[in-house]
């Protein structure tokens, strides 16, 4: 590989200020805040337009150099750290909100638009509409999040964020632009069907199928008021019936479960937070009353949420990192797995055991997705980044969690390389065949985030 030549070409494409091979700058892209080992990066390039992305993809094909599309880089599972070096394509300059279609309730945006930007733009300009964002730092991108089947405060009601994609524009691995969803046929980016739906090929494929450049995401009516109903219980087993009964009422906007070893008063309990919305206080009071009754009938104790807890949990996005047990050196790997509701309590119990086995203060929980058709159970393992043994400890906990998830019939979410291989080991051989065939067909030179979802 002629690095000098590639660098010069990248400069021609994006301009000299937006490409780098400086070791100091590449260092930042060689790792993420999770527990993955740093890996080497050749270049970082920041395109500003679809044409620039196309030219970079064409260059990568000519030079057989990998491309790793990156949004906020905050999945924590090493998904944007190159496996075989290459060009990290940092999408943050493509950050235009292109259209808010108020009547048809969608936002058409470039792939580098952050969750914080779209959320605050809507708050200011379209106070009747909102977008579901993850409880992640606001700098994460809507594209990065929807493309990993992320979830947020409207996911209980409307599904995971991958399901909220109405349309997608991608630069395919051959450099051609392809639009998917209604925008392949019409000027309105309002739906995925009724044509063969290929958007799914790009979700949770971790940048291996192409580079998303634009997308349309669903917007929803914004309620006037929002509150939460807090409860605690001892036995994780109670969760299944409790969640089933709460979702059966259709009262919940969002449902979160949590287990935290700290502060001390929370240790040994599972807490449930059901979010309710309404037009006025009276409506909220009625909903709260109903939910209190359900909590009690299902063995949970209703608690008036302490003001600090209300404040933290009503914030959008919640600063979820506050719940993590940051140790000196401040690292944490936050992973999750999708489970059927029936398996979620056992996953929580085993997650606590895994944390204890590795001497990590239990910090885990769950978000109910789409009326409990799916429960995303998350496990947070903190470590001291300056202590390599401690980091290995977190990785071992992570591995045990992935194995446990698959044993229980769940599927690790936004899985790091190890998790991807564990999933592939169990995957129906014909599904694997399909995956490999489509990928080889689309990307014969293997330039798109190679190493991820690698069928061996
Ligand atoms: C404190 C904390 C709390 C969190 N809470 C939540 C939560 O509540 N819900 C949730 O869902 N997640 C959560 N996360 C996880 C994660 O931060 C988010 O899911 C985040 O939105 C991922 O977006 P990103 O822009 O950082 O993606 P990235 O890490 O940049 O990318 C994710 C994947 O998408 C690919 N990708 C990115 N952009 C493109 C593109 N343009 N084209 C093709 N592929 C692309 C990348 O290659 C990578 O494989 C949390 C993380 C932290 C640190």
Pairing state between β 301-303 and 87-90: unpaired
CB-ligand 1 contact for 56 (6 Å cutoff): no
Residue 321 has pLDDT above 60, yes or no: no
What is the average pLDDT score of the chain?
95
pLDDT-based confidence at 328, cuts 50/70/90? low
pLDDT tens per residue across span 190-241: 999 999 999 999 999 999 999 999 999 999 999 999 999 999 999 999 999 9
Task: State the average pLDDT over residues 441-455.
Answer: 97
Q: Is the dihedral of CA 453, 115, 20, 25 positive or negative?
A: negative
Element containing residue 97 per DSSP (H, E): strand 97-101
CB-ligand 1 contact for 81 (6 Å cutoff): no
pLDDT-based confidence at 329, cuts 50/70/90? low
pLDDT tens per residue across span 46-83: 999 999 999 999 999 999 999 999 999 999 999 999 99
Element containing residue 388 per DSSP (H, E): helix 388-407
Distances in whole angstroms, Cα of residue 87 to Cα of each of 3, 26, 82, 361 = 11, 10, 8, 37
Identify the pLDDT of residue 309. 78
Task: State the average pLDDT over residues 171-179.
Answer: 98
Question: Does the global pTM surpass 0.85?
Answer: yes
- For residue 74, give the ligand 1 atom closest to its CA: 26
CB-ligand 1 contact for 145 (6 Å cutoff): yes
Provide the edge-to-edge strand list for the sheet that holds 177-181. Answer: 97-101, 106-110, 211-218, 165-171, 177-181
Q: How far apart are CA 364 and CA 387, in angstroms?
A: 23
**C-alpha 11, offset from chain centre:** 32
> Domains plus CATH for the chain?
3-92 (3.30.43.10), 94-221 (3.30.465.10), 225-414 (3.40.462.10)
Ligand 1 atom 2 nearest Cα: 136
CB-ligand 1 contact for 183 (6 Å cutoff): no
pLDDT-based confidence at 307, cuts 50/70/90? confident
Instruction: Considering only residues 363 and 144, tell me which one the structure prediction assigns the higher pLDDT.
Output: 144
């Amino acid at each position: 590989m002629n690095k000098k030549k590639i660098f010069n070409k990248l400069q021609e494409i994006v301009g000299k200020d937006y490409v780098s091979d400086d070791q100091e700058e590449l260092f930042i892209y060689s790792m993420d805040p999770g527990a993955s080992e740093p890996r080497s990066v050749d270049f970082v390039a920041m395109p500003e337009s679809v044409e620039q992305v196309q030219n970079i993809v064409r260059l990568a094909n000519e030079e057989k150099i990998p491309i790793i599309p990156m949004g906020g880089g905050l999945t924590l599972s090493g998904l944007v750290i190159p496996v075989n070096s290459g060009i990290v394509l940092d999408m943050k300059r493509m950050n235009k909100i292109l259209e808010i279609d108020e009547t048809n309730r969608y936002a058409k945006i470039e792939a580098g638009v952050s969750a914080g930007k779209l959320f605050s733009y809507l708050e200011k300009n379209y106070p009747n509409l909102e977008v579901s964002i993850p409880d992640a730092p606001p700098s994460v991108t809507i594209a990065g999040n929807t493309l990993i089947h992320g979830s947020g405060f409207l996911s209980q009601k409307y599904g995971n964020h991958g399901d909220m994609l109405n349309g997608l524009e991608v630069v395919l691995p051959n450099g051609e632009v392809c639009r998917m969803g209604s925008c392949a046929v019409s000027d309105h980016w309002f739906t995925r069907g009724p044509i063969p739906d290929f958007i799914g090929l790009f979700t949770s494929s971790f940048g291996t199928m192409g580079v998303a450049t634009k997308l349309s995401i669903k917007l929803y009516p914004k309620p006037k008021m929002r509150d939460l109903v807090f409860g605690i219980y001892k036995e994780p087993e109670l969760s299944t019936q409790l969640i089933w009964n709460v979702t059966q009422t259709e009262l919940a906007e969002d449902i979160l479960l949590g287990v935290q070893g700290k502060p001390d008063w929370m240790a040994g309990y599972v807490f449930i937070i059901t979010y309710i919305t309404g037009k006025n206080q009276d409506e909220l009071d009625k909903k709260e009353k109903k939910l209190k009754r359900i909590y009690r009938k299902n063995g949970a104790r209703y608690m008036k949420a302490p003001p600090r807890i209300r404040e933290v949990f009503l914030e959008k996005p919640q600063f979820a990192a506050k719940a993590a047990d940051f140790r000196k050196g401040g690292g944490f790997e936050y992973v999750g797995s999708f489970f059927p509701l029936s398996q979620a309590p056992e996953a929580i119990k085993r997650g606590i055991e895994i944390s204890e086995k590795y001497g990590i203060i239990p910090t885990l929980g769950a978000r109910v997705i789409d009326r409990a058709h799916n429960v995303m159970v998350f496990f947070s393992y903190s470590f001291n980044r300056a202590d390599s043994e401690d980091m290995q400890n977190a990785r071992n906990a992570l591995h045990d969690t992935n194995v446990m998830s698959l044993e229980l019939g769940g599927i690790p979410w936004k899985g790091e390389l190890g998790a991807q291989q564990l999933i592939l080991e169990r995957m129906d051989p014909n599904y694997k065949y399909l995956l490999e065939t489509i990928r080889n067909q689309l990307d014969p030179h293997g330039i798109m985030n190679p190493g991820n979802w690698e069928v061996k």
